[in-house]
Chain A
Amino acid sequence: MTAVTGEAPADRGGVLGRPLDSREDPQLLRGEAAYVADIDLPGTAHMAILGSPVAHAKILSIETKAAEQLPGVLKVATAADFTDVMPLPCIWVPGGVESHFPPHPYGLPGARPVLTGDTVRHVGDPIAAVVAETPRQAAAALAAICVEYEPLPVVTRADEALADGAPQLHEAVPGNLNAYWTCGDRDRTDAAIAAAEVTVELDLVNQRTINSPIEPRGAVGDYDPATGEYTLYASTQGPHNHRFLLSALVLGIPFNKLRVIAPTVGGSFGTKGYLYPDMPLVLLLSKALGRPVKWVDTRTGLMNSTVQGRDHRQHATLAGTRDGRITAVRCTSHANLGAYPSTIGPGVATALMGRSISGMYDIDAAFCEVYAAFTNTVPLGAQRGSGRAEAAFLMERLVDRYASEIGMDPAEVRRRNLVPKEKFPYDNGLGWTYDSGNYRLNFDKAVELSGYADMPTRKAEARTRGKRLGVGIATYVAVCGVGPSTRMSQEGMLGGTWESANIRIHPTGEVTVTVGSASTGQSHATVFAQVAADELGIDPATVQVHEGDTQKAPYGQGTYGSRSYSMAGPAVALTARKLKAKLVRAGAVLLGAPEHRVVYEDGGIHEEGNPQNAKTLAELAMAMWYGWGLPPEIEPALDETTHFDPPDFNYPFGTHVAVVEIDELTGETEVVAYTAVDDAGTIGNPKIVQGQIEGSIVHGLGQALMEAAEYDDDGRLISADLGHYALPRAADVPFFALDKTVTPSPHNPLGAKGAGEIATVPPAAAVVNAVVDALSDLGVRHIDMPLTPEKVWRRLRGESQ
């Protein structure tokens, strides 16, 4: 493990912390960046996948002859072609519980076969793959494959899947229960609730949503018979991880025979880090056909195959005193894992949610239990803010419910219960130890900026326009900076979660940074150049950044859970420090000065007290390239790598305030103002973080107002295209009022905390709190998301949920 100091970087007037323009933007604006669909290797054939049209059935027969005869068709593959291929594994099994999984030969939990041959378990479950000369020919041939099904009963809700007599999905998983997982202190919590002056309860549905990156997933497989090497181009947020999982655990080929390249990736939000059947398929079929094989998903395909998010049904209880002191919180959740455990889905549904439920509050007793169940739906995975958003929704709805029960202002209740500054590091009793925070400062800033005190006036004014105005507050703490590998192993993660960076200072003094992380739109090339330039005291324009190709980048784990800046960023900084230390050592020789008098500063070294005796970085780099006259203990050249594994997670937090207006006539909810004050520790590039925060808030508002993956009773996803799955559009949101507080994390040398997705965590709670506030005089105590106009309109007319 790398030693870490607790200090944030001093303001040296460097380039870190400045809102530099994103250097990726020009190529993107000119449409020049190549996404996976734009990759066109010579001789490429095209693959299409036949997904099951039914949610649960035995496959009696598959007839492919007719399809094989169609023009352009090169191959039709079914499960029978891949009997020696291992199933895709699941690598995050909740820690400390007995988990039941379909088996994998390596003793790992197996998730799903590459192609399903016997039983299909969700609509979209892949049954066959066609490769043809053109994408159209491949797609057309799917219709000619005849599959005979024997229908089986279907279940799409987690709670129903656990009921007696429910349809069974996996022989190895009796009762469909993948995991029963708990955290916190059950007895203490039950006792506190039993003894409480006030208790409130809520049943919450955190509906299933679809991340919907605008770029659908895609993959190109290219097998080279001359070398026996495979290359996979894929829309992935973790190329190294995919390399490891696919080579060793699926294909059974040596690690060094698979290269994974992430080209430009068009958004992910958690969905593109998973193993999907299409990845091994393009590789295996490329080998079989001796040609590159390319697959690009459709939108409907994506919706029926790419992991979906959230999907908890929670029963929650909060206990407190009459004067606003929260004493306990308890949650029982039924989490819907879908038909198979996705690569890390079971961990997302348990630890990320359960350990986060107490949020920013100092609560004496807390307990959460999760029943994670299989159903006939698309596998569950991460989704921007995953777990933490479900937790914040639960807690923040409860706090409002409690405030209304005791007749206290919801802002005041929150203020009274925030973890005080002196209590950090703070053990939340559920498994997280918050690193640092000044919650009161953050909270007061947001409440003040939102104009909270003026809301009564604004409500009265809105009424004159036929609108009901409501205000809702939501706070959150989001575990980020995944993370300490050993700690994650206790959570059941089967893999390291460190991150890496390599820096080469070239003989001419320019710098190349390579990181193991991989951007899905977060301007890594800009930000990591800033980190390196800041440390080395040089112009960021002389720093190039590369990532995303496993043959070129140091091992790393990729981008997820808002980890890149607080994981790869420190790796870059620490590597730069190694180089500086080396330059000081070598500089002593080159300057003919004692080492303790050699100082690295402003992109060069000099002798203390003798500034004329100096060398620039370019001079040093050339000298190190020649390597002349170096003592044996100093190696020539400037090339260092760091693998950074932090001592613990980091915990960004924040407070959001939503103001909504509900149209009395139509039930339409409009977000008319939104204030967000987030604390992501020390920020590398505020312009880029602002963009991520704005996007994150809109994503969260989407869940509150319009997004829902709806399955019918037969397990068909009704909302399988963007005409039926509503995403927020530009006219659905106003400009936001944004501000920040800065509490550096002691767990990395940049003082950084996660930022990318954290602002997706509270908006759903803020908006639902605001809507319930607007309807509270009608006796409305809760309303399930999404808050469609029809649903709100019915409540305005006094209908119950």
Chain B
Amino acid sequence: MDITLNVNGRPEQFSAPPNELLVERLRDGLGLTGTKVGCDTGQCGSCVVRLDGRSVKSCLVLTASAAGAGITTIEGVTTRGGELSGLQEALRQEHGTQCGFCTPGMVMALGELVDATAGGPAPTEPEIREWLTGNLCRCTGYHSVVRGVQRACAAGRDEVPAGTTATTASASEV
């Protein structure tokens, strides 16, 4: 099948078998290996990319069904070695990544949350955690990721990020 995709702002034309998964096209066909494969079952979220702005698990999308769409992968967020996006910078400051395997998928999924809430109230901690349920991380326990999102959302809003110190955040709840 002849397919056109717009990937990270560049038109890509190729012929793909009908059963090809989008993640295979991105990684093997287009060499965009920033998108990771962590499971066979759409559970882990390592493969999340943005499809026409919405975050999707690219291991659950057939390339053919994405024909004509605009895809953003982690490679489309920054240039190689380039400056980090606001979200990435906030995650860096909170050490929101350890082995980093889940990280590109997290950045893509959380990017949608940050975009979707821009201009409105910042997402609450439960909202961030709920949003993250599609992404598994075995290293961080998610806390630093959640703090990173809080920091990223606060940055545009001149707010003090809630819960950026683990100790005070939950000590008061006990």
A residues with a Cβ closer than 8 A to B are 21-22, 24-35, 37-38, 40, 135, 211-216, 264-267, 269, 296, 298-300, 449-451, 454, 520-523, 659, 672-675, 687-688, 690-692, 694-699, 721-723, 727-731, 733-739
Contacts and interface: CB of A to CB of B under 8 A. Distances in A.
A419 B41 CA distance: 48
A734 B170 contact: yes
A683 to B, nearest CB: 14
B133 A731 contact: yes
Interface in B64-105: 73-75, 77-78, 80-82, 84, 88, 91-93, 95-104
Nearest to A23: B92
B12 interface: no
Nearest to B91: A29
A695 B33 contact: no
A736 B170 contact: yes
Given A31-B34, A673-B174, A735-B169, A25 B43 contact: no
Contacts of B36: 31, 35, 37, 214-215, 266
Nearest to B107: A29
B9 interface: no
B34 A32 contact: yes
Nearest to A451: B174
A674 B98 CA distance: 22
The CB with the most chain B CB atoms within 10 A, among A696, A731, A736, is that of A731
B122 interface: no
Given A31-B104, A214-B46, A691 B95 contact: yes
A266 B99 contact: yes
Given A34-B33, A721-B43, A731 B141 contact: no
Interface string B96-126: 1111111110010000000000000000011
A730 B146 contact: yes
Contact of B100 (A24, A37, A696): A24
Given A28-B103, A30-B34, 11 more contacts: A27-B100, A214-B44, A214-B102, A215-B38, A266-B102, A269-B138, A691-B98, A691-B139, A722-B44, A729-B142, A735-B170
Interface in B46-66: 46
18 contacts: A31-B107, A35-B36, A135-B28, A214-B38, A214-B44, A214-B139, A266-B38, A691-B98, A694-B142, A721-B43, A730-B130, A730-B146, A733-B141, A733-B142, A735-B163, A736-B170, A737-B169, A738-B166
B95 A737 contact: no
Contacts of B34: 30-32
Contact of A33 (B84, B93, B100, B137): B100
Contacts of B140: 691, 694-695
Nearest to A384: B138
A674 B143 CA distance: 13
Contacts of A34: 33
B173 interface: yes
Interface string B127-150: 011101101111111111110000
B102 to A, nearest CB: 5
Contacts of A299: 38-41, 43-44
B1 interface: no
Contacts of B92: 21-22, 25-26, 29
A79 B16 CA distance: 36
Interface residues of B, number: 66
A389 B34 CA distance: 35
B145 A659 contact: no
Interface string B1-45: 000000000000000000000000001100101111111110110
Nearest to A37: B37
Contacts of B142: 694, 698, 729-730, 733
A727 B138 contact: yes
B138 A737 contact: no
In the complex, which of the residues B36, B101, B163 has the most CB atoms of chain A within 10 Å of its own CB atom? B101
Contacts of A25: 91-92, 95-97, 100
A521 B98 contact: yes
B165 to A, nearest CB: 9
B95 A267 contact: no
A298 B40 contact: yes
Given A721-B39, A731-B132, A698 B46 contact: no
Among A22, A31, A691: residue with most chain B CB under 10 A: A31
Contacts of B97: 22, 25, 28-29
Contact of A449 (B33, B137, B171): B171
B129 A688 contact: no
Nearest to B174: A451
B98 A30 contact: no
Given A30-B84, A687-B95, A737-B170, A730 B43 contact: no
A723 B43 contact: yes
Nearest to A24: B100
- Identify the interface centre among A25, A27, A269, A697: most chain B CB within 10 Å of its CB: A25
